[in-house]
Structure 1
Amino acid sequence: MATLLSSPPSPFGRKVRIAIDVLGMTDRIAVLTADTNNPDDPVRRHNPLGKIPTLLLDDGDTLFDSRVIVDYLNALDGRDLLIPAGPERIGVLREQALADGILDAALLQVYERRYRPAEHHVESWLEHQRGKVSRALDAFSARLPVARPAGPSIGEITLACALGYLDFRLEGSWRATQPALVSWLDGFAQRVPAFGRTAP
């Protein structure tokens, strides 16, 4: 059985866990909690970057990061549910890239506060990251991902995880200015029960 090394608060790990659920692979992939801050945690032996999520395959090979893992799972499943073939493919991958960018910028804000003393916080750096998040949310609000009969694409899944992370770590301040995305996320949560099950 393959094993996913992740952590409940990780939005990238959540993205992969939802993908596994959507593909019906929960009985084929075990999920183990990893501690990236612990130098003795096995994740550093399997992933030189010591990052999560990391997928350990049955043959001993290792996959990372979340985009590579999702691409592998989509190909393994063979139905193109997460990443559709044909004309839709690039649009879905663009949505994933934009939502991943939201997560990257949000994580940098969290790390600035977590790992640097308050007197060393660089406000201009934080504002730079906030700007990325704000512009990306505006872009999504103007062009909301469309729900597909086949189930959620990886673009939708990643956006939902990004919004969930903004709620979890940045107090959900986005909600006051993005009513269309609030409604979209409510609808996603109803359509995809794994979103609630994977909440940190």
Structure 2
Amino acid sequence: MKLHWSPKSPFVRKVMVCAHELDVAGQLTLVRSVAAMLKPNLQLMADNPLSKIPTLMLDDGRTLFDSVVICEYLDHLAGGSLFPREGDARWRALRWHALGNGLLDVLILWRNEREREVPLGALQDAFALKTEASLMLLEQEVEMLAKAPLSIGHVAIGCALGYTDYRFASLEWRSRAPQLTHWFAELSKRPSFVATEVAEG
């Protein structure tokens, strides 16, 4: 399998964390691909018309995108349990997954906006408010997160917090979320997160 990949994409990181957790990372051939919003990548578009990463090409020629679909495919392929099959565990995992993905969407849009020549202050304020509200909800729910078996929800939230550190260090979110800080520190020790940590260079 071939994965269009970038080391700084949090959605790619989510796929790679899952791949390591499921012990299928060795089955992936990583293809360094740039997916800039203002400059579509024509080579990438041959596999994904949206010019977005991650994109996974299967050995039979089919392609899968986006990270939600790819992570579930890898879980299915490996017979994993990152996507609980039924009951409350399933809905908790999917809800946390949606929260982590949604927070990443907000942060990426916020980063794009702040890099504009004339950023919209009201839009940045809205992004800041949504980010803070998401972090405070996670602080309230962190005890449930800690008790639940590792799922796609944990992976998505962990990648969102990692991206917050990487692109929005000035938020200093740990000062307002001590329990979430502890939980994230423990999650970050997992080999899958260590192996996929974003580094400059």
Say if 1:11 and 1:165, in contact at 8 Å, map to a contact too: yes
Name the residue aligned to 1:3: 2
* C-alpha distance in 2 between matches for 1:40 and 1:124: 31
1:24 corresponds to? 23
**Number of the residue aligned with 1:89:** 90
Question: Can you list the C-alpha shifts for 1:79-121, whole angstroms capped at 9, x where unaligned?
Answer: 3x2111221111100000001111011001110123x20xx21
User: Which residue matches 1:76?
Assistant: 77
Give the structure 1 partner of residue 154 of structure 2: 156
Distance across 2 between alignment mates of 1:48 and 1:11: 20
Aligned to 1:98: 99
Q: Which residue of 1 aligns with 2:178?
A: 179
TM-score (norm 1): 0.91
Q: Equivalent residues in 2 for 1:131-146 (5 A)?
A: 131-144=129-142, 145-146=145-146
Deviation at 1:164, TM superposition (A): 0.4
Rounded Cα–Cα distance in structure 2 between residues aligned with 1:105 and 1:40: 23
Question: CA offset at residue 198 of structure 1?
Answer: 0.8
Unaligned runs of 5+ in 2: none
Quickly say closer, same or farther: Cα 1:40–1:101, change in 2 above 3 A. Answer: closer
Q: TM-score, normalised by structure 2?
A: 0.90
Q: Identity over aligned residues, as a percent?
A: 36
Question: Cα distance, 1:148 vs. partner?
Answer: 4.9
C-alpha distance in structure 2 between counterparts of 1:172 and 1:183, whole Å: 19
Query: What corresponds to 1:62 in structure 2?
Result: 63
1:166·1:172 contact (CA, 8 Å) conserved in 2?
no
Give, in whole Å, the separation in 1 of the partners of 2:78 and 2:100. Answer: 23
Task: Report Cα offsets for 1:121-180 as digits up to 9, x if no partner.
Answer: 10110111111111111111111213556xx21100111100000000011521221111
Change (3 A) 1:92 1:40: closer
Change (3 A) 1:40 1:98: closer
Alpha-carbon distance in 1 for matches of 2:181, 2:170:
10
Question: Does the CA contact (< 8 Å) of 2:4 and 2:33 recur in 1?
Answer: yes
Shift of 1:41: 5.1
Equivalent residue runs for 1:100-139 within 5 Å: 100-114=101-115, 116-117=116-117, 120-139=118-137
Cα distance change, pair 42–74 in 1 and its aligned pair in 2 (3 A): same
3-state DSSP of counterpart to 2:146: coil
Gaps of 5+ in 1: none
CA RMSD of aligned residues (A): 1.5
Q: Which residue of 1 aligns with 2:167?
A: 169
Conservation of the 8 A alpha-carbon contact between 2:114 and 2:124: no
Amino acid across the alignment from 1:45: A
Q: Residue type matched to 1:143 in 2?
A: E
